[in-house]
Each structure stands twice: as C-alpha cells, then as structure tokens.
C-alpha cells in the first residue's frame, strides 16, 4: 500500500477569486485530450492486434457522439447568439475553431495508423483487406457477378440536378459521390453530372474473396460498388467515385413537462435523430476540391466542418473484423470471481447479506453476483416487492428477465426506466414495453431530470415475520456486457438506514414531495452538491501537521467550477489531493500558489475506468463514498444521482487499497500538467512497471489456480 505523505500546513490560505479563465481547461478540448489517449492505446504494441483495431474504432465512435452532441450544441449556441461563456472563457466560435485545429492532426494520425500499421500486420496474421484493383481478373469477374445479383438490386442512384435536390442522407451513413458523363457528348464542364449512392447498411461491408484459401480475405463493399457503378447509369460513364460520410445533430430535446405521453414522444424523437442538421462532413483526402464544395454547400456546412481522412471511413463497421475468431490477436480471456456464498444451496443469498455487506469490484468480481441477487429475489416466496432503476440495461438483459419473472410470480415490481438515456433510448423503450406487458409497474422518472442512480431494492418478510429491505447500490449500470469491460464498484447490503432512505428515494421518484431528512444516502439534485462542498471544507478545517488533510477521488469527469474552486482552496490550505479522472478534467493542477497540492491522473487501458470512489481523511476518521455521479453540473443539478458511504471497516480498507493501487500505476497512467497536456508517468530508478488492471487480473487468475488445486469446502447451515 502506498504511503500517505504529510504536507506542510499553511497557516492561512491565500484568498483568491479562482474565477479567472486561466484557472480552467476547456471542457471540449479536455474531452479531445481523453480521446487522444484512446488513440495512443491503438498505437501501443503491447496490445494484441485486434485490440489495437478496437481502440481505433472506439476513437471514431467517440468522435461521432462528440459531434452529434457537443459540436451540435456549440453550433446551436452560435446560431442563437449565446453570450454566456464557460469558466475557461472561450466563446462557442472559438471552441469550434479550437476543436477543428486539435482534431485534424489526430484524424490523420489515426488514418496512418490504420493503413500503414494495423491493417498490414493483420494481413500478415491472416486477416487481409485487399484493394479491389489488385485482385486477379477472375476474382474481379466473380465479384462483378455477385454485384449484379446481390448488390445492385439494393442500390438507389440519386442524381443531383435542378430537378433532383440533394438527398437527406442518413446520419453516419457511408456514401459514394459519383461523377458521371455522357460519352457521346464532347467533354465540357456542363456535361458532367453529380450523383450519390448510399452504401447499404443491410449488406456486409466486408465481402469475402478467395473463399477456398486459408485465412479471412475481404474487399470493401464500397470498392465493389464504385467499380461496378456503371450498371447504375446505363449508357453513361462513371469517371470518379469518392466516399464521404455525414454526421448529424442527434441530441434529443424533450420538453417532458409538455409531453402527454413520454414514451410516444421519445419514439418520435429517436426516429428524427437520423435526420438532424448536418454538423460534419468526412471526405477522403484525395477527393477533388470541386466535389467537396458540392457536398459542403449541399449540406449547408462551413469549410471548418469538412474533415479529411485517409483510409476507410465509418470504422464502426470494422468491429466485424474484431469479432473474427483469432484468439491470439485479442486480450487473454479471464474468469471473473463468483461468490460461492451466493450459490450455496444450503444458505440463502439473503442470509449471506444479513451477515455482512458485500462489496463487488467489477469486472474482477462477476456481475453474475448481482444477477443472482435479483434472480433470487424474483424466485423467493418471501420476497414481496422489487424496485429497480434501469439506465442502460443493454440487449438481452438478465436483469429485465428477472424482473419479468418476479412480476409473473406475483410480486409487486416497479421499474424506473430512464427513456432519456442518450443513445440507449431505443433499447429502453423496448424494455419498458416488455416490462409493462409482464405486469411490472413502469415509471419514467421526474420531469426535467434524468434518473441516473443505480439501485435495486428488495423487500422481504424474513423468518421473524418482519419486513427487511435488501439493496444493491452501484457506480455502474445494470448491463452484464459492459460489466465485463468497465470497472465499477457495487455494494449489496441490508443496512436498515440505507433501506429507509431507499424507500424514500423510490417514493420521491414515483410520487410527490421529497423527504426532509436522509440517514445515509446523499442524493442529487437535493443534497449532493452541498455534501461534496462540505466534505472538502471539512478537510480544510481538520488539516493539521499531525493529521494532514487528504482527498482521493476516482471518477469519469471533473467539470463543475464551484467544486473546482473548493478544491483549489483546499490545496492552498495544504490538503493533499489526488484525482484519478479518466476523461474530462477542467481543473489545472500544479499552478503556483493555487494547486501545487493537486495531482490528476488518467488511466486508459483494457477496461474503461468507470467507478466513482471518494475518500476523505476526515481528521483520521476516514470516510469513503461510492456513487453514480461525476462532479459535473449535469450530475449535480439535472440528474437524480446517489452517493452512499461505505461503513464496513473491511470494505473501507479494501476501497482505500484500490485507490492507492491505482495511484501506483506507471504503465497506463498519464498525469495532467498545468498547461492542460497529459504525459505518461515516468518510472524512477529501478521502479518496476506496474499496470493496475493487469495487477487485478493476475489476482483473479491466481485465485482460479488456487481453486483448481484445492477442492472447495462445502458450506453448511441453512437460514432464510
């Protein structure tokens, strides 16, 4: 365990306003820095090849969401003349220019990495992407026949002329811009025509070639379409074909206080998402200027909105290659820990929970433990009611299945489904309908707020005849798929104070009014902001030479300027602050006289660091909280969030060890500098490399080996 080093006490903090823009990093540029760290992982040769390809895809999908939401929002601010500036002081126009300047070199780096490094190495390993024009004539002829039979009937050529306006192309669709002319006429500028063909998403992007040879060899569908595009325009020549891609505004705005039926409104808005205003045009670097101009003007975009890329566009399709069965080109698989006590046939899960709180650290501890808890509640005849929040449940959810089973078993089941969970709206609409059909009471949360908290509540009549509440509270979603690739922490407890608060929480979410007092849980938007500020202020007040103030936090983002100002004040007072922040951080560490006592680290690796853990030294009476909220205005002001204390000493010790272990990482950890840049942590002297994610994977692998060597002792004793 890393040593906590005291820092000198400053008798009187220097009073500074902390509102000057020089103290803040721009939110959007900080996010781009995070995505650059994702791109760096794609270049890291310690990752297997297909994992490097996956990071390239993640870089692209992250950018898609960034443009669809954040850039679209900035463009909207420009159009309506927003004058209120963020804490960093950049206007919307300045932010858009800065975003473009930062992204262009990153996109070119991504293209080079894909075409000059990852794809050639995949080809050597047996996954080959052939240029169509380099294939033997016989194979090209076979592809032509396949095109005429299987592809041509699906295509729709769209002419662009005074009688045919530019089509409204789907968001994130891949398209071909075609230059067509009549060979019977003299070559003249007016004889050239422009047309667009959308590459159909209903067909596989990767067309198999050399099917009788070993390995997996492909050509891209758009190349086959371009080579055979003449079939779309009989009697005309296709002189050129250039791929391009459009990204559109996809932010859903729902005035849910005006929507009589939120479900119907969300379904309508999800359909409209495909047709929002264009915000970005991606073109091949070889696309002629006049073609770019036709596309840009037709999409009503500015020159700054046009982005050159090299290599294939729409990289999300390349996850098809990742799914090929090449285990040596992927991360080594692992088995998450499953709690034996939860599967003991002679002792109920509820008896286990009553004997002590259960702390789970995913993905090292299996999410099946959570599913077992909810499934046991669905089947236990002593369970009377289950209440559950669902933010991102994913596809084919065992949690949803357990809730359906519970309703069918006659239990009172309530599910709060957040229909406004961005880019999961369609999944959640499906779940809401399925749950309602099974007899679950489905609610959609509070007007004007997203319900982002993660809680499952089970009400059970125990052997004594009294009712007891059992809870699962977590930092992550009820999604077994992401629970394998995100790090999160969860707590299963029968703490009666937690239980009373959870009853009040669900009554708040489904009814009217709010409780005036909370025993243990801290909730946004009611009390969380004031609680965070009070905890930081308490560290200042209790800081002394014998008991130095100490804050360690792990979360996804730090944006809220009021919290940042409080952290600056704590640093000035001598409180030592370490923050492990995966993504956006608007605080500048290391500023002289302001934040010398603050360090900020970001860890990007095999797993997405998603857990939120908050440690306060509290004058030696250490407190640790877990929760669903980052320190962002949206989480503190516009979402229903839960943060809760960890009271069991053993669990607190484990969480403190987790935080200190993360601070040891010198392989995947980058440190934020005061100028806003990130640098990989340097190892000093003989310091050994330490990768925190690999450390925990090694622990569970060693545990697996121990289980293989020693037969498991059978538990005895029964209890309800």
- The mean pLDDT of the chain is 89
Do both 477 and 560 map to the same domain? Answer: no
Q: How confident is the model at residue 259 (pLDDT cuts 50, 70, 90)?
A: very low
Do both 586 and 661 map to the same domain? Answer: yes
pLDDT at 191: 67
What percent of the chain is predicted at pLDDT more than 90?
73
pLDDT at 711: 47
Told to judge if 47 belongs to the known catalytic residues of this protein, a careful annotator would answer: no
Q: Looking at the domain assignment, is residue 421 inside a domain?
A: yes
What percent of the chain is predicted at pLDDT more than 70?
89
* Alpha helices, DSSP H, located in 422-556: 425-437, 496-510, 528-542
Q: How far apart are CA 292 and CA 306, in angstroms?
A: 8
Domain count along the chain:
3
Out of 47, 362, 452, 610, the active site residue is 452
pLDDT at 272: 54
Which of 516, 543, 570 is the endpoint of a domain?
516
Among 80-89, 134-143, 644-653, the range scoring the smallest mean pLDDT is 80-89
pLDDT at 258: 45
CB-based contact 27:95 (threshold 8 Å): no
Residue 570 has pLDDT above 80, yes or no: yes
Q: Looking at the domain assignment, is residue 79 inside a domain?
A: no
Q: How far apart are CA 571 and CA 552, in angstroms?
A: 13
Stretch 649-670: mean pLDDT: 97
- 120's CB contacts (< 8 A; 6+ apart) are none
Residue 260 has pLDDT above 70, yes or no: no
Residue 707 has pLDDT above 90, yes or no: no
Q: What is the pLDDT of residues 197-241, one digit of tens each?
A: 999 999 999 999 998 888 799 999 999 999 999 999 998 889 899
pLDDT at 215: 79
For 305, the domain range is 119-329
Q: Looking at the domain assignment, is residue 282 inside a domain?
A: yes
Q: Looking at the domain assignment, is residue 253 inside a domain?
A: yes
Among 247-256, 367-376, 385-394, the range scoring the smallest mean pLDDT is 247-256
Do both 355 and 214 map to the same domain? Answer: no
Most distant pair of Cα atoms in the chain: their distance? 96
Do both 383 and 446 map to the same domain? Answer: yes
Q: How far apart are CA 625 and CA 627, in angstroms?
A: 7
Do both 194 and 304 map to the same domain? Answer: yes
Do both 370 and 320 map to the same domain? Answer: no
Which of 304, 329, 354 is the endpoint of a domain?
329
Do both 390 and 282 map to the same domain? Answer: no
CATH number for the domain spanning 533: value is 3.30.870.10
Q: Looking at the domain assignment, is residue 533 inside a domain?
A: yes
Do both 545 and 456 map to the same domain? Answer: no
Q: Looking at the domain assignment, is residue 78 inside a domain?
A: no
pLDDT at 251: 77
Cα separation of the two ends of the chain: 38
Which of 283, 310, 329 is the endpoint of a domain?
329
CATH number for the domain spanning 283: value is 3.30.1840.10
Q: Looking at the domain assignment, is residue 427 inside a domain?
A: yes
Do both 621 and 701 map to the same domain? Answer: yes
Q: What is the pLDDT of residues 9-38, one digit of tens each?
A: 444 455 577 888 999 999 999 999 999 999
Q: How far apart are CA 378 and CA 343, in angstroms?
A: 15
pLDDT at 190: 58
Do both 153 and 202 map to the same domain? Answer: yes
Q: Looking at the domain assignment, is residue 715 inside a domain?
A: no
Do both 484 and 622 map to the same domain? Answer: no
Do both 286 and 391 map to the same domain? Answer: no
H or E element at residue 138: helix 137-146
Q: What is the pLDDT of residues 75-84, one digit of tens each?
A: 999 988 887 8
Stretch 394-398: mean pLDDT: 80
In this prediction the pTM is 0.90
Q: How confident is the model at residue 7 (pLDDT cuts 50, 70, 90)?
A: very low
> What string of H, E and C letters represents the secondary structure of 158-198?
EEEECCECCCCCCCCCEEEEEEEECCCCCCCHHHEEEEEEE
pLDDT at 274: 55
Residue 176 has pLDDT above 90, yes or no: yes
């Amino acid at each position: 365990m890393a040593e906590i080093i005291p820092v000198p006490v400053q008798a009187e903090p220097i009073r500074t306003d902390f509102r000057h823009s020089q103290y803040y990093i721009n939110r959007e540029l900080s996010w781009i820095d995070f995505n650059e760290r994702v791109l760096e992982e794609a270049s890291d040769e310690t990752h297997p090849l297909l994992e490097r390809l996956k990071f390239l895809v993640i870089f692209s999908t992250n950018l898609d969401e960034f443009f669809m939401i954040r850039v679209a929002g900035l463009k909207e601010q420009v159009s309506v003349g927003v004058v209120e500036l963020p804490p960093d002081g950049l206007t919307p126009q300045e932010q858009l220019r800065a975003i473009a300047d930062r992204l262009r070199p990153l996109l070119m780096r991504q293209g080079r990495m894909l075409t000059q490094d990852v794809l050639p190495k995949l080809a050597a390993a047996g996954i080959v992407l052939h240029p169509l024009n380099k294939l033997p004539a016989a194979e090209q002829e076979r592809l032509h026949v396949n095109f005429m039979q299987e592809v041509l009937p699906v295509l729709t050529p769209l002419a662009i002329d005074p009688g045919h306006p530019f089509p409204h192309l789907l968001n994130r669709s891949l398209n071909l811009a075609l230059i067509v002319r009549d060979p019977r006429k003299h070559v003249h500028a007016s004889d050239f025509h422009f047309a667009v063909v959308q590459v159909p998403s209903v067909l596989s992007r990767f067309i198999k070639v050399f099917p009788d040879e070993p390995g997996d060899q492909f050509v891209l569908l758009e190349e086959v379409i371009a080579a055979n595009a003449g079939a779309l325009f009989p009697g005309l020549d296709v002189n050129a074909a250039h791929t391009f891609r459009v990204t559109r505004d996809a932010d859903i705005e729902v005035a849910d206080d005006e929507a009589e039926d939120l479900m119907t409104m969300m379904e309508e808005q999800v359909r409209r998402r495909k047709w929002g205003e264009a915000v970005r045009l991606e073109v091949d670097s070889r696309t002629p200027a006049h073609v770019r101009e036709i596309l840009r003007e037709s999409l009503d975009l500015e020159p700054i909105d046009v982005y050159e890329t090299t290599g294939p566009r729409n990289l999300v399709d390349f996850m098809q290659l990742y799914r090929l069965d090449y285990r040596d080109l992927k991360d080594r698989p692992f088995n998450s820990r499953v709690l034996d006590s939860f599967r003991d046939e002679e002792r109920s899960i509820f008896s286990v929970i009553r004997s002590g709180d259960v702390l789970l650290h995913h993905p090292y501890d299996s999410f099946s433990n959570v599913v077992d808890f909810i499934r046991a509640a669905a089947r236990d005849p002593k369970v009377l009611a289950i209440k559950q929040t669902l933010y991102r449940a994913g596809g084919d959810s065992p949690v949803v299945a357990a809730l359906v089973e519970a309703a069918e078993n006659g239990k009172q089941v309530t599910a709060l489904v957040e229909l406004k969970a961005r880019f999961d709206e369609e999944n959640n609409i499906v779940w809401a309908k399925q749950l309602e059909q099974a007899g679950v009471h489905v609610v959609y949360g509070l007007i004007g707020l997203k319900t982002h908290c993660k809680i499952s509540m089970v009400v059970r009549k125990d052997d004594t005849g009294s009712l007891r509440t059992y809870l699962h509270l977590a930092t992550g979603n009820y999604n077994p798929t992401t629970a394998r690739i995100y790090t999160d922490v969860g707590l299963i407890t029968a703490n009666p104070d937690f239980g009373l608060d959870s009853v009040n929480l669900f009554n708040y979410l489904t009814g009217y009014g709010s409780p005036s007092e909370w025993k243990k849980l801290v909730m946004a938007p009611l009390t969380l902001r004031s609680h965070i500020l009070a905890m930081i202020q308490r560290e200042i007040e209790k800081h002394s030479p014998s008991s130095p103030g100490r804050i360690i936090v792990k979360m996804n983002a730090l944006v809220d300027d009021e919290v940042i100002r409080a952290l600056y004040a704590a640093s000035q007072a001598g409180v030592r602050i370490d923050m492990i922040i995966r993504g956006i951080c608007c605080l500048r560490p290391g500023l002289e006289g302001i934040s010398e006592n603050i360090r900020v680290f970001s860890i990007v690796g095999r797993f997405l660091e998603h857990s939120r853990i908050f440690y306060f030294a509290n004058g030696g009476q250490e407190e640790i909280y877990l929760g669903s909220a980052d320190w962002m205005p949206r989480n503190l002001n516009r979402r229903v969030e839960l943060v809760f204390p960890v009271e069991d000493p053993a669990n607190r010790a484990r969480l403190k060890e987790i935080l200190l272990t993360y601070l040891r990482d010198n392989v995947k950890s980058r440190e934020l500098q005061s100028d806003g840049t990130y640098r990989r942590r340097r190892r000093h002297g003989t310091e050994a490399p330490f990768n925190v994610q690999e450390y925990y994977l090694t622990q569970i692998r060693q545990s697996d080996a121990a289980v293989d060597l020693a037969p498991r002792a059978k538990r005895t004793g029964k209890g309800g």
